[in-house]
Structures are given as structure tokens and as C-alpha cells.
Amino acid sequence: MTTLSICIPSHAPLSAAQTSIDSALALLSYGDIEVVISDNSGDADKAAKLGAIERAGFRYLVSPHQDPMHNWSHAVDNASGELVMMLGDDDVVAVLPGFRPRTTAELAGLVGLRPAFAMFSSGQGVYRPTHFGVTGATAASRVQEYLVKNGGSNVTVYSAIRRDVWRNLFAGYLAHHPTRAGYTDWSLTFALVATAPLVEEGNLLYLYNNANWATEEKIRENSQRGMQSVGLPAEAAQIQMALQAVDAFVAVCRKDLSLPADEKLEAGLLVAGVYFNSLVTALQKIFESGTNPSPKLVQTAKIALGATNPAEQLGACLVIVELWLPHLRDAYQAFFNAVLDPAVAAKVGFVGG
């Protein structure tokens, strides 16, 4: 049985993705590992070259999905490993001396394995290495532990995760999430951390290409572009933290997570509060910058400042989302009804609409 499937949802041309693909193929020699490429680039030359590779443990698939998250899911659906590790097609994976695939018994009670991570870019080389696991006894303690250790990065989403957990997450998100925009990978990260302990696998190394997120300007540009790519106005990037607060709460408090409702609620409000506080900080920067904020931003600030406890903060985020994106109201209600644990929904007032 395959222990680890390295899944590469690829959209880049082969010239840009080759290094990433080669790094994954090098791991096939360790046994119990497979590489699955789900390619939605539409590049005929790429399809011909990768499709011609005949190697045990390698699968190349042309994906029918242009949506990035659907492409991720397509790769997972065609994987056979107990663990699935997503690999960006501009990132690199490698193994260090002492690496070996884990046995089924060693994976019991875990959501997966977290590799050693590091960033890289052409201007800075390799930097910001992190080596840690998340092993708290409850969902909230794991979320808090992750917040302390992660250093502002969500590369943990590229950990080696149990395939059944990924499939359950994708099922709810792809069927019901109102936007499926790129920022949802943060909520997926918190969903994974809340599920069960994630232990460190220091002999597996993931190098993340941070070129597109290296400066404040690039972050702003990519956030706006991400909104526009799913049909939202670029200005909605100004309330992205409110969207992420709602998404992360639902992801942590999803009905398919087999934890007590109170445990999920504690973790969900914790992570929603983190995004709410980030939203308030961003609003403060706008008002302190000397610019003339729009009436909508002024109203947003009034709503945010009126929330004084975690439940009110979550509710404020919902009101802010409706203020900016009223056309998504019904879609969000359907999302809550389909994905959120009803016992948690009742506690915070998210009832069927």
C-alpha cells in the first residue's frame, strides 16, 4: 500500500514546473511513495511529454477543472496514499538522511506529518526555516499552538495529511463555499490543525517559493487579483480578514469533524477572533494613514468597534461581509447549513435560512 502521495496540481507551463516535478520524482526511489500530477494548463506539449513518462508510482492526469481548488481535489481523488502532500508547481520537495515512510500504526491518531519548511526566492535564497509539530490535546490548544509557532505563514497546508481528511474538506468546500477564492487555503490550514495532532517529520523538506508574497505591495496586488478571479470586486480585498474569519470558523466547526461541539466552538471562536483583530488593525492603519476612507470603510469600522466578545466579533464579520457583498448572503447561508455542525450553529445563532 502507498504511504505517501505527492500531489502536484499544476497550471504552469512545463518550463516553470519542471524543477518541482523533478524534485517529486526523485522521491519515488524511497518506496511506498507515488507522484500524481493533475494538470489544468491546457499545454499540449506539456501533456505529451509528461504523459509519455512510464515510471512506477507516477501518474499524469489532464484535469477538467480550471478552478484551483477543484484541481487540488482532482489530484487527491486520484491518489492512493494514506497521506497526501500537496506540492505547488513552483515549489520543491526533498528528503534528508534518515527519511522513511511511516507505517499505518505510526499514523494512528494523527491528522498527518508536518515537513520541515523553508521559504525561498531569487532575491533572498532560502530563509525562514521552521521545524515544529502541533500536538495539543484539544482543537483550541492545537490552534493556539499553531498560532504561536507558524510565524505568519500558512505553508502548513502543504503538510502530508490523511487522504480521508482532505476528501471530506474538499467535499464541503467545493460543493458549498460561496467563492472558493485563494484565501480559503488559510481556513483549510486551521481545519487541519483542529482535526488532530500534526507531528513533525524533519527528514522531509518542503521549499516554498515566496516570490509572489515577498512584499506588502505584492500581497496587496495578489489579494486584489484573487478577488477578481472569482468575480468579486478588487476592493473586497480590504475586508478579506472578515471573509477569512467566517471561513475559518466554519472549517474548524464543520459537521464531519468528530469532536464535541463545545470543543469545536472554542477553537472556532479563537481563530475567528484572530482574523477579526487583524481586520481591526488593518482598518486602524487606513484611518491613521491620512487618506479619506470611503463611507463603506467608515461603516465597517463602526460595526467592528461595536463587537466586544468573540461571538459578537464573529457576528460583526458576517454583517461586514453582507455590507460589502450582499449578493453572497444566500450562498453563505447555504454554506453554513451544509457544512457547519448544527450543534455549533445553534450556539452562535447560525440557523437555517
Grid coordinates given for 285: 492603519
pLDDT at 15: 94
Per-residue pLDDT, 200: 95
What is the per-residue pLDDT for 235?
93
Residue 84 to residues 88, 111, 352, Cα–Cα distance (Å): 13, 11, 34
Q: What integer is the mean pLDDT of 125-129?
A: 88
> What is the C-alpha separation between 187 and 182, in angstroms, rounded?
10
Cell reading at 53: 513518462
pLDDT of residue 335: 94
Mean of pLDDT values over 326-335:
94
Question: Which helix (H) or strand (E) is 339 found in, with range?
Answer: helix 329-339
Amino acid 217: pLDDT: 85
Residue 80, SS3 per DSSP: coil
Whether the pLDDT of residue 148 is over 60: the answer is: yes
> What's the rounded mean pLDDT across residues 277-306?
93
In the predicted model, is pLDDT for residue 351 greater than 60? no
What does the pLDDT read at residue 86? 97
Cα 231 to Cα 42, 228, 234, 328, 335: the distances in Å are 22, 5, 9, 11, 18
What's the confidence (pLDDT) of residue 94?
Answer: 93
- DSSP assignment letter at 102: P
Assign 205 to helix, strand or coil: strand
Report pLDDT for 101.
82
Q: What is the DSSP letter of 98?
A: T
Tell me the average pLDDT of the chain.
92
* pLDDT at site 181: 87
- Per-residue model confidence (pLDDT) at position 349: 81
C-alpha cell at 30: 524511497
Query: 3.90.550.10, 3.40.50.300, 3.20.20.70, 3.40.50.720: which CATH number matches 4-213?
Result: 3.90.550.10
Of 97-101, 171-175, 250-254, which gets the smallest average pLDDT?
97-101
Q: How far apart, in whole angstroms, are the C-alpha atoms of residue 63 and residue 254?
A: 28
> Largest Cα–Cα distance in the chain?
61
Q: What pLDDT is stored for residue 310 in this prediction?
A: 92
Distance of CA 304 to the CA centre of its chain: 25
Q: How confident is the model at residue 1 (pLDDT cuts 50, 70, 90)?
A: low
Which is more confident, 242 or 67?
A: 242
Q: Average pLDDT for residues 163-182, to the nearest whole number?
A: 92
pLDDT of residue 352: 45
Q: Which positions ≥6 away from 113 have C-beta within 8 Å?
A: 83, 102, 107, 159, 160, 198, 199, 200, 201, 204
Alpha helices in 125-233 (DSSP H): 139-149, 163-176, 184-195, 216-229
What residue spans define the domains of the chain?
4-213, 216-348
* Arithmetic mean of pLDDT, 88-101: 91
For residue 126, what is the enclosing H or E element? strand 125-130
Backbone angles phi, psi at 348, to 5 degrees: -110, 5
Under 8 Å between Cβ of 84 and 160: yes
Identify the pLDDT of residue 104: 86
Grouping H, G, I as helix, E, B as strand and the rest as coil, residue 118 is strand
| Residue range 183-211, pLDDT digits in tens | 888 999 999 999 999 999 999 999 999 88
The H or E element spanning position 127 is: strand 125-130
pTM, two decimals, is 0.93
d(CA 277, CA 272): 9
% pLDDT > 90, the chain: 77
Residue type, 12: A
Kindly indicate the confidence band of residue 353, based on its pLDDT and cuts at 50, 70 and 90.
very low
Q: How confident is the model at residue 100 (pLDDT cuts 50, 70, 90)?
A: confident
